[in-house]
Amino acid sequence: MAVEHYENFPVASVLCPPRIRSAVVAIYGYARTADDIADEGDAPEAHRQAQLEAYRDDLRRVCAGQAPTPRWAHVFVPLQRSILAHRLPTQPLEDLLDAFLQDVRNPRYADREQLLDYCRRSANPVGRVLLHLYGLVDDGALRRADCICTALQLINFWQDCSVDLPRGRVYLPAEDARHHGVNLDDPANLRDSPATQAMLRGLCTWARQTMLDGADLALQLPGRAGWELRLVVQGGLRILEKIRRAGYRVMSHRPVIGARDALPMAWCALTMRNHASRTGSVE
């Protein structure tokens, strides 16, 4: 499955264990559809909010054992089956909707703490639900999953600056911008410059350390699941490396992973060791 809308969701690849693949697809469909509603073309903010609240009503219906309304039955019927079959926690699914509603309002973020709070609802719920499917629910595993998901979200923000900023979506923390003399309210400042490059250097260092703080989870998960998560982790780190090689010039260029990255990523995934990669730096 291609990830076109909800980019940080590790969808059901060939490495995904068959017994949970349908549940992973159902959860992905739920998140992707909500993301589409939140970003529904030129629809007014009030319309998108109302649609997300109606979507939430359907979520609560299926969580209560009721049939969904016909509108999103293609999403909620398989999701309901997965919730029942795997006893999935439903609060993370609610948290995702809170994050999408926040996206509709398109707020600015004063500091890293506010951005982390957004990631707690926009990214971390995905990892927590997937961990439940794998039977890992201890505090340590959940903390590491949160680190990986938050890092993936942050990396996506820095990767997408050239796409988000022209659309008025600003995920750069205002505190970091002020520290580097970048005025987020002045479009002339939102271009590649020594100031923005220095700002992105610090933000990428933060994202990388966050990823490494959770990376050991990939070694804890057994079999196919562990290999899939290794590749997810290495994919995020690979994007950071591409940003570094580009001199942190992401205001005019969006780095992407291509076919040439497959072998280096596979090698890094194969050679991952506990704490071994933490000696590196993106700086």
Is 283 within a domain?
Answer: no
Same domain (yes/no): 240, 115: yes
Single pTM value for the model:
0.89
Res 187: pLDDT: 84
**Residue corresponding to tokens 């009503």:** 57
Contact 155, 207 (CB under 8 A): yes
Contact 131, 79 (CB under 8 A): no
Residue of 38, 243, 34, 215 whose CA lies nearest to 157: 243
Same domain (yes/no): 160, 49: no
Res 275: pLDDT: 54
Spell out a b/e string for 121-158, using b for 16 or more CB atoms within 10 Å of the CB, else e. Answer: bbbbbbbbbbbbbbebeeeebbebbbbbbbbbbbbbbb
* Total number of domains constituting the chain: 2
Is 8 within a domain?
Answer: no
Same domain (yes/no): 198, 66: no
Q: How many CB atoms are located within 10 Å of the residue 283 CB?
A: 9
**Which of residues 89, 106, 123 is at a domain's end?**
106
| Residue-by-residue pLDDT tens, the chain, 283 positions | 233 334 544 444 556 778 888 999 999 999 999 999 998 778 899 999 999 999 999 999 999 999 999 999 999 999 999 999 999 999 999 999 999 999 999 999 999 999 999 999 999 999 999 999 988 889 999 999 999 999 999 999 999 999 999 989 999 999 999 999 999 999 888 999 999 999 999 999 999 999 999 999 999 988 888 888 999 999 999 999 999 999 999 999 999 999 999 999 999 999 998 754 443 333 3
* 3-state secondary structure string across 193-233: CHHHHHHHHHHHHHHHHHHHHHCCHHHHCCHHHHHHHHHHH
Res 14: pLDDT: 54
The boundaries of the domain holding residue 43 are 14-106
What amino acid is encoded at 256 in this protein? V
Same domain (yes/no): 97, 116: no
- Where are the alpha helices (H) located in the chain, listed in sequence order? 18-38, 45-63, 73-86, 91-105, 112-122, 124-134, 139-159, 161-164, 174-179, 194-214, 217-220, 223-245, 262-270
Q: What's the CATH number where 118 sits?
A: 1.10.600.10
